[in-house]
Amino acid sequence: MPDLPTPTASRLTRPSWRDARLVVGVLLVLVATALGARVIAAADETVPMYAAASTLVPGQPLTQQQVKVVRVRLGGGSGAYVAADHPIPTGVFVLRDVRAGELVPQSALGGEQDVSVKPVTLEVAGNAAMTLVQGSVVDVWVNPRDPGSATEKYLQPQRVLEAAAVARTPRTGGAFAGASGTTGVEVYVPEEKVQDLIEAIDQGAKVTLVRAPGSPSAEGS
């Protein structure tokens, strides 16, 4: 029987840098790494901004305790809001409503001279005030006392103030009076309305606060 040829084992060769497949593979890895780094960097393009920790109402001084730091991606619109790269300075006041959780706009803040409202304490029925909290938005209704009646009789109610912010309630200032009797609720009133409202109260008018639907309340806290 003739001898069969013995196969020669081929020896694996180490890939060379001159191997086109190796070069392409390395380039693909580098490109994928660069793209991944850019995606991660883009996902982290957020900036720290201040958001309202609770509802901010016109006329109140803004303090560090009333804001919280959140990281958001705003792009070119970041200048419209208050950046959290510095503490809240003293002497800053809220000029318009900012709901809890919302970013604090630069336009919502100003100095004391920019505030156009004054806090006025209104005596209202205790049961009507139980649902109110700081930041509640209310309409102020006034029932003038009937000057021609010898008894405690009132005329038709008139809405003298719309969308006023509650600055303080007995719940935030101390013990609540309860459902019976009256209790004082501090409301921010536009300067031009303060005199008329005080005159109505001095003449024995009855004041009722009607909370706006959706505004903060004790029931929702």
Q: How many domains does the chain have?
A: 2
> Is the same domain home to 122 and 176?
yes
Last residue of one domain, picked from the residues 87, 113, 139: 113
**One domain for residues 107 and 128:** no
> What is each CA distance from 55 to 42, 58, 66, 96, 100, in whole angstroms?
32, 10, 8, 11, 4
Domain assignment of residue 32, yes or no:
no
Are 106 and 75 contained in the same domain?
A: yes
Pair of tokens at residue 67 = 């804001």
Q: State residue 20's pLDDT score.
A: 66
Task: Give residue 178's pLDDT.
Answer: 53
Any domain includes 36 = no
Half-sphere exposure of 135 (CA within 13 A, CB side): 18
Question: Is residue 174 located within the same domain as residue 145?
Answer: yes
Q: What would the pLDDT profile of 137-190 be if each residue is shown by its tens digit?
A: 999 999 998 887 777 788 999 999 998 999 888 865 555 555 557 889 999 999
* Nearest C-alpha neighbor of 161 from the set 189, 132, 184, 133: 189
Positions of the chain with pLDDT under 50: none
Mind listing the pLDDT tens digit for each residue in 10-19? Answer: 555 565 555 6
176 part of a folded domain: yes
**Judgement on whether residues 173 and 105 belong to the same structural domain of the protein:** no
Residues 60 and 139 in one domain: no
One domain for residues 190 and 122: yes
Query: What residues form DSSP beta bridges with 93?
Result: 61, 110
| Structural domain that includes position 56 | 47-113
Q: Are both 99 and 169 inside the same structural domain?
A: no
Of how many residues is the chain composed?
221
Q: Is the domain of 124 the same as that of 152?
A: yes
- Asked if residue 142 and residue 106 are part of one domain, the reply reads no
Task: Give the pLDDT confidence score for residue 217 in this predicted structure.
Answer: 84
Residue in the structure block whose two tokens are 């070069």: 23
Please indicate, yes or no, if residue 76 is contained in any of the structural domains: yes
